[in-house]
Amino acid sequence: MAVTPTFSLKVIASNKVFYDGPAEYLQVITLTGSRGFMAHHAPCIVAVETGTMSIVKPGGERETVVVSGGICSCANNRLTVLVDTCETADEIDVRRAEEAKERALEQLRQKQSVGEYKMTQSSLARALTRLEFSSQKKHYI
């Protein structure tokens, strides 16, 4: 049986280092869609969008989390992902996400500056992603 090559992966959220170790594969949502990374990927820097991120660890164990906004840098067989938030399905507070969704929807109904409108859209996207992920968590495990 062939061994899948690995790369060094570090996932850092604003409040914690989520993962620091070897990985076989990483999938993130970028501005242009879903993007996958494997060992010896070409150097690049991409913007990470709010959505799910999957890590395949050595041995094939997959861990899927929900992340919001950030960047992913790849060079020299090392990937670093810096995101605002990174949460497992168990860490998501569904009630809090529902409240954030309702607040964002109410704010969208009010007159706002362009900057405020974009911030509200971002808040709504995070809340909806958390709710969808928590309701679908059985599919990601």
The pLDDT tens digits for 79-121 are: 999 999 898 877 777 788 778 778 888 887 887 788 887 777 7
Q: Is the pLDDT of residue 138 over 50?
A: no
Q: Are residues 20 and 53 in the same domain?
A: yes
pLDDT tens for residues 55-77? 999 989 999 999 988 999 999 99
Same domain for 43 and 61, yes or no, is: yes
* Domain-embedded: residue 69: yes
Sign of CA dihedral 136, 59, 67, 43: negative
CB atoms inside a 10 Å sphere around CB 12 = 16
CATH of the domain at 115: 1.20.5
What are phi and psi for residue 4, nearest 5 degrees?
-75, 130
Residue 67: per-residue pLDDT: 93
Domain span at residue 25 reads 7-87
Q: In Å, what is the CA distance from 70 to each residue of 87, 98, 106, 130?
A: 14, 23, 26, 16
Q: Is residue 2 part of a domain?
A: no
